[in-house]
Amino acid sequence: MKFFILLLTILTPLAHSSSLDAPDDSIKYIQEWADGVQSAVKNGDKPAIKSFFDGGAVFFTCEQNKTERNSPYQLTPYYDDELVDLFAKPNQKFAIHVISSRYSDQEVSVIGKLTFAFLVITGFGDPIAYDEFRFFIKDNKAQYYIGEYYPCGWGSMNC
C-alpha cells in the first residue's frame, strides 16, 4: 500500500498538465480537511464530521457485488445522515492520503472555489483511489462535495 501511494505521488504530476505549472495552495486546504475528518472520525464526533461535507455532498464506496458475475464491483452512494453515519462508525483502517490537488479554472463564487483532489481513502472495504474528488474552498476551509468514483474496483486492483 505504501509503495502504491509513493508511486502515485511521483506519477500524478505527469498526469495533469496543470500540475506542471507552479503549484497552487489548494493542497494545504485539502490536507487540513483530511486531518480534520480523520480526527473527527477517530473521536466519533458526528457534528464535526458533518461540518467537513457540503450540504449536497454525496460519497461513493466501491463494494464487491456478490450477486452479479459480470460486474464484480458496485457503487454505493451515501448522502446526508447516511454519509455521516458511514464515517462515524469505528474503523481502525480508516485513513485519507492526499496525493495532490489543484484549483479548477471554473470559479463558483457563491459556493466557493472548485478544487479537485487526488485522494486514496482506506477503511471502507477496497481502497478508494480517484484523482477528481471535488471540494469547495470558501473562507479558507475545504468542504467535500462529490467524488465521481466511476472506476469502481480500480483501487483494489492497484493497491
pLDDT tens-place string over residues 60-83: 887 777 887 777 777 788 998 999
**Alpha-carbon 36 to chain mean position:** 13
**Best CATH choice for the domain 2-158 from the list 3.40.50.2300, 3.40.50.300, 3.10.450.50, 3.40.50.740:** 3.10.450.50
**How big, in percent rounded to 5, are the helix, strand and coil portions of the chain?**
35, 40, 25
The better pLDDT of the pair 7, 64 is held by 64
Partners of 117 in beta bridges: 101, 133
For 13, 33, 106, 120, the CA distances from 8, given in Å and listed in that order, are 9, 20, 25, 10
Residue-by-residue DSSP string for 87-101: HHS--TT-EEEEEEE
Q: Cβ neighbours of residue 42 under 8 Å, at least 6 residues apart?
A: none
**Are 142 and 36 in contact, with CB atoms under 8 Å apart?**
no
Task: Determine the pLDDT at residue 14.
Answer: 42
Q: What is the pTM of this model?
A: 0.76
In whole angstroms, what separates CA 26 from the centre of its chain? 14
Backbone dihedral angles phi then psi of residue 81, each to the nearest 5 degrees = -65, -30
Domain ranges in the chain are 2-158
